[in-house]
Structure 1
Amino acid sequence: MRHLSQPKLSSGIGKSLGQFACALLLSLLSALAGAAPLLPAAPELAATAWLLVDSETGTVLAEHEADLPLPPASLAKMLTSYIVSEEIEAGRLSEQELVRISDNAWERGGAKTDGSTMFLEPRSKVSVIDLMRGVIIQSGNDAAIALAEHISGSEEQFADLMNQQAAQLGMHDSLFHNATGLPSPGMVSTARDLALLARATIVDHPDHYGIYAEKYFTHNNIRQPNRNRLLWRDSSVDGLKTGHTEASGYCLVASAQRRDMRLIAVVLGTDSDQARARETQKLLSYGFRNYETKRLYDSGAALKQQVRVWYGRTEAVDLVVEEPVLLTFLRGSEKQLEAQVVVPTQLEAPIQAGQKLGSLRITLHGELLLERDLVADRKIEQGSLFKRFKDWLTLFFSRLFS
């Protein structure tokens, strides 16, 4: 399986360490391997590009042209909203801070345009949080421009901030020229980059992510619905954003959570509002029906206990995982999962707490699904001169007679 971003996986310990593999049974895995479950082919969608990923693990479950640069349309507003959330978190902006609506925001994104709008009045003052709702729920171009001008002075300067933020999120195939997603030659993003942005929105700003699930927002006595049809069709869907221009077609980035699994689906370039909802639902249904995500180990869990340490004050160390270990795998294949702990044949003091000493590898039918570092659970200092000489003699004679 592929992963959404550069995975936080180790490359193994390396042959120079003289590895040996020690089989380790997970408490939730059976030692008996049965027949592999059947996996239906991923759906073919009536769209230009698409991607389906697990939000927690970043595992890619289905994709087509996921790295093809395409106009992002109003999906660009997800990045605008993300930056606003970042500014609020950093204390440079507050939700109740009032933003003056410029003539430019009204002229380029307001009621007199053919685009989506919040129906802001020029030179009025509106709170940041209301403008965020106008961007997210109503897809208001005027609201996006007003926020961009308030944060950066101009939309052009804000676009530079968008590209810096995109680079930090790993969106390396995206380029933004404005805060709205209105057509601009060369402004592009990809299904993979937009999934990265959606994942960051969900994880980094959960409070503001809740706005994406709101079905209606009223401003200026004008009540507008959220354009994401799936909010009405599927109770597990709680965001994110629609987009449409003539060049981009109808697009949708959606996220849904069922049981303990959250998926993100990106569908770009369909031919209608109905089609983008229908095709996105196909992707989500495929993922939830055929895959599951489980926590295998909690942070600090010992994967290898009492590993011998030479030349130290203490003769053994436990190897633990620093972060929770979650895995997305084919539904029904739990009993076929296999785990190995790989450690060097000889560990020597001094050892620092948190020092990488081995790796955990989980495979399914020989395919590597996950690899994580194993680290020392505590510091082990060198032993006395007598202790080190004693260990040296032990190792010398064990090699001599082996």
Structure 2
Amino acid sequence: MKNRIIALFSAAVLCFGICLPQASALQIRAESAFVMDGNTGEELYADQADQARVPASMTKVLTAYITYQEMAAGRLTPETAVKISKNAAAKSRDSSYPMAVPLQEGSTYTVDTLLHLIMIPSASASCIAMAEHISGSESAFVERMNQTAKELGLNATYFNCHGARPNYITARSQAKLTKAFIDTYPDILRITSKSGVTFNGRYYNNTNHMLNTMAPYEGLDGFKTGTIAESGYCVTTTAVRNGHRVIAVVMKSTSDTQRFADSRQLLDYGFEQIRLRDASRAATQVQLLAQPDSIRPYQPVSFQVKLSGVSVPYTAKAQWYINDEPIAQYGNDSFQAANGKISTMHYTLHELNAAEMTVRFALTMPDGSEKSAEAVVPIEQRPLTFTGSLNIQSAAVYPGKALTVTAAIAGRNGLSPIHLPAGWMWDGEPIDGYTNPAFAVINDAADSQYQLRIPADAQPGSHTLSFFVGADGSTGVEPLLLSADITIVSAPADLQR
């Protein structure tokens, strides 16, 4: 019976058109930069993205995130009144806590109002007011910030809730936090997309000038700036085009204008990379290169596929399947697809429960579409068979003594090497430490040695020592059981009788 090989792939030919400059041509002045596919979390660009830097007021993103956590838990609502402490009121007028948006001591403001002040004009004292309301003090709230950062898998350390003093985070982690925020609490975009906010009769521009004083960026809907002496000029931006979201992080750029120039380039680059990668995914072909003509139980075999048509490398979920069941050790949620890349699966069948088996490799794209190839392989209906013997048939042993027992097995299966379940038993029960699910048989022969030690306090009686090959219920190998009768006698003199 010949193999039936089925290769599933799109035959479409896609033209890429004119591309934006490659990453090497980007004129980025920031010391760290990172671009993420906001839909999938895929890295699109990274430069010093894992260097911890001062985020300044980008710190406020985590403060706002925790505020949304409280609303999701039902402990706050957008209309919850937050009373302003003497501490928060004083710092709202202190220019060393930018942006200074005055709050009145003893007055109350809604959570939604404070979130607008935190995320639009970047009001540090509004962060302190929320921290005190949620945790009782800023220091207690900062403990929660660090715990939340850990839970989100961020490389970040916080000492305050506002960023007017140094905290530390990587550009990659800032992007990861932003994606988690948007994915979990998309209402935040209602706030970050606004060009400004009016509070107490004064209009405050959004510090993200790509929303107001600069030329607008198509699809931009946030996210947060940050600037203090230690941080330089930072900004996280995000935009959506044609259903695709890009998140870009700039840290320690050289000026207010430059950080947004950096961001525009990075967002443009991100959208172009997504376009190229989507085209590359659509053009990908998966081809089976190698598979056996048939398979026997316990015969190691290999299956191999090769990718072609991949014009731009990308990330996808890769998985090998046997009869539509995923093989755990042969799955990768972050498989790096590249042209000519080969994936190999090694497999050993253990049972004869079907006439054939289906092997499939599938790449699953972020939109759920698949590129795959499969083969149907006949299963040879020949279980492995062995004969064998122990070096003793019976023995009498007195307490405190030892006996070496050797099992030798042989077969005519024509497979080498093969690995079978095997082991030693005492009175039908497996002996701890002397069972092996992958006992090696080389050139149809193997042996195993067991040192039988009789405890000094053992009682006289008859027992059975056995060596087995093949697991109970397996149809891939005919079970073999070799046994010896062991009699424990009470004293050495009994051996002479």
Q: Same fold (TM over 0.5)?
A: yes
CA gap 1:355/1:114 in 2 versus in 1, 3 angstroms: closer
Give 1:397's match in structure 2, choosing from 382, 395, 399. 382
For the 8 Å contact 1:49–1:267, the answer to whether it is kept is yes
What is the CA distance between 1:230 and its match in structure 2? 1.5
- The equivalent of 2:173 in structure 1 is 193
**1:301-316 correspondence runs (5 A):** none
Q: Name whichever of 353-362 and 204-213 sits farther off.
A: 353-362
- The equivalent of 2:446 in structure 1 is none
CA distance in 2, matches of 1:166, 1:58: 17
C-alpha RMSD of the superposition: 4.2
Q: Secondary structure at the match of 1:396?
A: coil
Q: Secondary structure at the match of 1:240?
A: strand
**1:198-217 correspondence runs (5 A):** 198-217=178-197
Answering whether residue 34 of structure 2 is matched by residue 51 of structure 1, we say yes
- The equivalent of 2:243 in structure 1 is 260
- The equivalent of 1:342 in structure 2 is 320
- The equivalent of 1:116 in structure 2 is 99
CA distance in 2, matches of 1:236, 1:33: 25
- The equivalent of 1:363 in structure 2 is 337
**1:313-328 correspondence runs (5 A):** none
Answering whether residue 258 of structure 2 is matched by residue 275 of structure 1, we say yes
Show CA shifts across 1:295-350 (max 9, x none): 979xxxxxxxxxxxxxxxxxxxxxxxxxxxxxxxx9x9489999986334xx5xxx
Aligned residues: 325
- The equivalent of 1:175 in structure 2 is 157
Q: Secondary structure at the match of 1:119?
A: coil
Answering whether residue 116 of structure 2 is matched by residue 133 of structure 1, we say yes
CA gap 1:65/1:91 in 2 versus in 1, 3 angstroms: same
CA gap 1:124/1:285 in 2 versus in 1, 3 angstroms: same
- The equivalent of 1:15 in structure 2 is none
CA distance in 2, matches of 1:175, 1:23: 52
What is the CA distance between 1:216 and its match in structure 2? 1.2
**1:44-123 correspondence runs (5 A):** 44-110=27-93, 115-123=98-106
Show CA shifts across 1:202-239 (max 9, x none): 11101123211011111111110101011242131111
CA gap 1:357/1:60 in 2 versus in 1, 3 angstroms: closer
Q: What amino acid is the match of 1:131?
A: L
For the 8 Å contact 1:241–1:254, the answer to whether it is kept is yes
CA gap 1:28/1:84 in 2 versus in 1, 3 angstroms: farther
CA distance in 1, matches of 2:15, 2:29: 38
CA distance in 2, matches of 1:151, 1:119: 20
Q: Secondary structure at the match of 1:397?
A: coil
- The equivalent of 1:40 in structure 2 is 22
Q: What amino acid is the match of 2:382?
A: F
Higher Cα Rg, which structure: 2
Answering whether residue 203 of structure 2 is matched by residue 223 of structure 1, we say yes
For the 8 Å contact 2:23–2:45, the answer to whether it is kept is no
Q: Structure 1: which 5+ residue stretches go unaligned?
A: 1-19, 298-329, 372-386
Q: Secondary structure at the match of 2:28?
A: coil
Answering whether residue 231 of structure 2 is matched by residue 251 of structure 1, we say no
CA distance in 2, matches of 1:60, 1:281: 17
- The equivalent of 2:295 in structure 1 is none
Q: Secondary structure at the match of 1:194?
A: helix
CA distance in 1, matches of 2:134, 2:58: 20
Identity of aligned residues (%): 30
CA distance in 1, matches of 2:382, 2:99: 80
- The equivalent of 1:239 in structure 2 is 222
- The equivalent of 1:26 in structure 2 is 9
Q: Secondary structure at the match of 2:208?
A: coil
Q: Secondary structure at the match of 1:195?
A: helix
CA gap 1:51/1:112 in 2 versus in 1, 3 angstroms: closer
> Larger relative contact order (C-alpha < 8 A, sep ≥ 6)?
1
What is the CA distance between 1:193 and its match in structure 2? 0.9
CA distance in 2, matches of 1:90, 1:52: 31
Q: Secondary structure at the match of 1:56?
A: coil
What is the CA distance between 1:109 and its match in structure 2? 3.1
More helix by share: 1
For the 8 Å contact 2:313–2:336, the answer to whether it is kept is no
